[in-house]
Structure 1
């Protein structure tokens, strides 16, 4: 008689779920802060019921019968805002690009990298309008004040994007440039820049898009542009003119975003292949 030995059934051991008390505590603290901040705001809850009707009323006041006579002036002020954004972008590129390369790992000493990265974080934490208020005591209420504020704020974002892009490139060309006896500048020029140039162009265009929108906000403090005009007519309750200004701002911003986005996609993805029949 032959005895067939069957293997014992496999026992599946399910590991215990990892306990993360610090994560639970963090969520509890964050939730408590959000709840306390929400309830500490002095909100007239009774007026929330009137909000939909007020939105409809002001929408009709602005767009029911727009004052198209102000369209030429609105286009001119919008052009000034675009000029402000363009100058701020160029200045930000010139200032941020060299120091972003030095902030990358492998191209600058540790103390300098820490200093520059801390500077980038500090600048990003301060809104453009606060920077403009600080420097307007020197430059005055001019479009150049807005351009400088946009340039300084752009250093924070362009610097961070720049050193992250440099650190993400393949190390092969860099090692080849160093093996050939190249110094830091030669390595950056021949080993790094050809790889990061498309990304940098994309960053610059995207920063210009951000500056176009921010330039309208800077007009609220009187540095010129469409934001200054929008603030003036809003204070005088000329809603028909405000409607025209909003139409111009939205249309121009969407047009610039579409053109800039198409250029960025062309830079990053290249030309699409055509199928020849």
Structure 2
């Protein structure tokens, strides 16, 4: 019985969608099989993990703890400076990239810039700029700041476009210009989201600063690379313990602050 007689609409055919999925699947399969992997060594992986875990954590070299804490603090400083610079650069750009506050050509240009920056890892940005600034923590901070423009800019204009339009229209009806509309119609509603994004970006930068140490810009990552190359596994274990504990503490504190900003203070129930 035909669909016209039964009243049931025919199932839509999407040949281009099927062809697209087939193409993606084929690319993934080809990329997977083109990787030169010695599959026979996978059986040795669990034993190797256990062996290196024992080397690192059976007898950690706690004498390196003060130096590890100092280098971790340098990584946090790098992340903090990178976050502040990223906020100062990305916030005005995100406002201009929001629909209704910037010309169409500028919005397209800024959104393309944000996408381009997000596509480049921090370590690549650091390698590019270290020829000017040298192997210093400031190089890592600049790399984190530049990379933060991509994420903070995108989050920013999305937050601005998501606010209710009522206060914006009221500010415009009262004769306010673009700056007044942003100040009184947008910012009071978008401010909690912006603070949440900034704190979350700081969490990301703390983890990324350890990775940037791999190229020698300082911090705990630089120390971790050096002791790994010399196979001093007892010291590497101490460094990993410090990195994990400090990162978890920062994530927990930042997460609690973000929840307080977004949800407000919880009312106490009095008996």
User: One fold, TM greater than 0.5?
Assistant: yes
Distance apart, 1:22 and its partner CA: 1.4
Matched residue, 1:182 = 176
Q: How many matched pairs?
A: 268
SS at match of 1:39: helix
User: Structure 2: how far apart are the matches of 1:135 and 1:128?
Assistant: 11
CA–CA distance in 1 between the matches of 2:102 and 2:37? Answer: 51
1:159 equivalent to 2:153? Answer yes
1:11, CA displacement in angstroms? Answer: 8.8
Q: Secondary structure at the match of 2:152?
A: helix
Distance 2:63 2:6 in 1: 78
Alignment partner, residue 216 of structure 1: 210
Cα separation, 2, equivalents of 1:269 and 1:18: 43
Which of 50, 55, 75 is the equivalent residue of 2:44? 50
**4+ residue runs over 6 A deviation:** none
What's the CA shift for 1:21?
A: 1.2
SS at match of 2:98: coil
Q: Which runs of 5+ in 1 are unaligned?
A: 1-9
CA RMSD of aligned residues (A): 1.2
Q: Secondary structure at the match of 1:17?
A: coil
**1:160 Cα deviation (Å)?**
0.3
Task: Specify the structure having the higher radius of gyration (Cα).
Answer: 1
Q: In 2, Cα distance between the equivalents of 1:73 and 1:211?
A: 21
Q: Does 1:72 align with 2:105?
A: no
Q: Distance in 2 between matches of 1:212 and 1:142?
A: 16
User: Are 1:114 and 2:105 an aligned pair?
Assistant: no
Distance in 2 (alpha carbons) for counterparts of 1:204 and 1:12: 57
* 1:160-218 Cα deviation digits (max 9, x unpaired): 00000000111110111111111000000000000000000000000000000000000
CA deviation profile, 1:37-76 (whole Å, cap 9, x unmatched) = 0110001111111111101100100111111110000000
Report how far residue 12 of structure 1 moved: 5.8
| CA apart distance, 1:240 | 0.4
Give structure 2 stretches of 5+ with no counterpart. none
